[in-house]
Amino acid sequence: GLIINITSIAGYMGLPYRSVYSASKGALELITEALRMEVKAFGIEITNVAPGDFATNIAAGRYHAPVIKDSAYEKVYGDVLATMNDHVDAGSNPNEMAEAVYKIIQTKKPNVHYKVGAFMQKFSIVLKRALPDKMYEKMLMNHYEL
């Protein structure tokens, strides 16, 4: 059997104003790794697929704290939410994700982790591992204009 956990590329980095979301996705990555070892003897494969931004309506149903008028966070938080929604709206075709999952299902021995998305989204994970923490943080903050 095969179990596929779908998380998010956000599980590999802490996104501003999405800390709990990023942490939950990162936790699912680790759960996948541990459970995979636990059930391998029973012929069960577990893999994790971390998609980047895909043009779907996910942002419409996303729960987030409201932008509070005259709050110290009003502008910056509102701007980051708008940027994230824009990323989803301009995201890749969701058929790419479906094709990736179909290919994984057809794989006899799937990898532990797969990243599916635009090049820069996947490359940002490589940069996070390669760059000093503060340099990567500054790069991410510049991206979100923080």
Three-state DSSP state, 50 = strand
Residue whose C-alpha is closest to residue 2's, from 97, 107, 75, 81:
107
At 92 the pLDDT is 84
For residue 43, what pLDDT is reported?
Answer: 94
State how far the Cα of 84 lies from the Cα of 88, in Å rounded to an integer.
6
Closest CA to 143 of 7, 14, 8, 54: 14
Which pLDDT score, from 0 to 100, does residue 56 have?
Answer: 83
Q: How far apart, in Å, are the Cα atoms of 122 and each of 24, 37, 44, 73?
A: 19, 25, 27, 29
The overall pTM is greater than 0.85: no
Q: Helix or strand or coil: residue 2?
A: strand
Q: Which residues of the chain have pLDDT under 50?
A: none
Which domains does the chain show, CATH number per domain? 2-143 (3.40.50.720)
How far, in Å, CA of 104 to CA of 21, rounded? 25
- For the record, the structure tokens of 49 come out as 């697929």
Phi and psi angles of residue 120, each rounded to the nearest 5 degrees, phi first: -65, -30
Query: Is residue 92 classed as helix, strand or coil in its secondary structure?
Result: strand
